Amino acid sequence: MRAALVVDATGRRSRAPAWLGAIGAPLPRELCTDTGTFYYTRFYRRRHGRAPRGTTGLVAGDLGWVKVAVFPGDNASFSISVGAPVDDGSLRGLSEPARFEAFVRAFPAVAPWRARGVSVPIDGPPTPVLVMGHLRNRLRRFVDREGPLAAGFFAIGDAAYHSNPVYGRGATSAIVQAALLDEALGRHPGDVRAAACFLDRESERQLRPFWEAAVAGDRRALGEVPSRKVTDPLAWLAHVAEQAFGWFFDQGLLPASRVDPVIFRALMRIFNMLEPPERLFTDPGLLVRSLPVLARVLRGDGPPPPFPVVAREAALWQLDRAGARE
């Protein structure tokens, strides 16, 4: 098939490297890290079209040992997702619907969505639990110092920039790159090489900071530390700064966003990619506003978490109990 240009929007499983290799083109430069997480998701439909009484706002929690969230959709649909560490074998049973149901109902913030008469599995009892694994933060660049690896070939979305789905930026990143590709072709009509360079340059500027923030978040969640063999003092300094900011975000900025609308709006603008992530640590106003809440958290009287903590043992007991009944 002959074409003026080819756009790869096939997602995280893109075979672009194999395609380029087959025509003798150089392989894309790639950065890749493991997210360390499996995701289990089941879809439902509310019986009466409204959210359960008493459930407002975002229902999502990261308890360290597990992530749980409810995602409302259209036409009274919603999904419940559980993120489990890949090395936690005790949570592998979540792929069974009965065990999944028992597990998610152990969380007070989620249970109202699955209360009797509130919702049903979207396709009835056979509705499966969908498993998403082998997830990696992957960044591929299809331009090198000499220009595009293959003139007329463009990769956008997860085929080029893929990060942990927990951050919810996949669709937004794809739309941004689609718009950048449109702009690139408009700025450089008939010059696919210049268009490719423009797309690569602007993607680096607009998307890479969010990709690197996702990598840093996963690295912190996994508790990764630099190798003892690292002799570069700048690498150690970067790690210390990353850990310090992560602590300040968890103990100061995030709790403050639950009581301070200014901080909440700033976090939402960054979360939704309207502002770059570095604003969190370059805006002195945000840092100063969060200090009183940080002091409260350190005293033990910080704002209550929006997602009540559930002990791991209690949730696993429900999971095992459901398995014993099968």
The amino acid at residue 33 is T
Count other C-beta atoms under 10 Å from residue 295's C-beta.
12
pLDDT at 26 over 90: yes
Class of 6-33+136-210 per CATH?
Answer: alpha beta
The mean per-residue pLDDT over the stretch 6-11 comes to: 97
26 close to 148: Cβ distance less than 8 angstroms: no
Q: Which residue has the higher pLDDT, 277 or 229?
A: 277
What share of the chain in percent tops pLDDT 70? Answer: 95
Q: How far apart are CA 209 and CA 217, in angstroms?
A: 12
The mean per-residue pLDDT over the stretch 17-29 comes to: 96
User: What local confidence, expressed as pLDDT, does residue 229 receive?
Assistant: 58
User: What local confidence, expressed as pLDDT, does residue 326 receive?
Assistant: 59
DSSP E strands in the chain: the ranges are: 6-8, 29-34, 37-46, 59-62, 67-72, 77-85, 119-121, 130-132, 136-141, 143-144, 147-148, 153-155, 161-162
For residue 121, the surrounding DSSP H or E stretch is strand 119-121
Domain residue extents for the chain: 6-33+136-210, 37-133, 225-299
Tens digits of residue pLDDT in 153-180 = 999 999 999 999 988 899 999 999 999 9
What is residue 22's three-state secondary structure?
A: helix
The mean per-residue pLDDT over the stretch 50-54 comes to: 71
pLDDT at 304 over 90: no
Class of 37-133 per CATH?
Answer: alpha beta
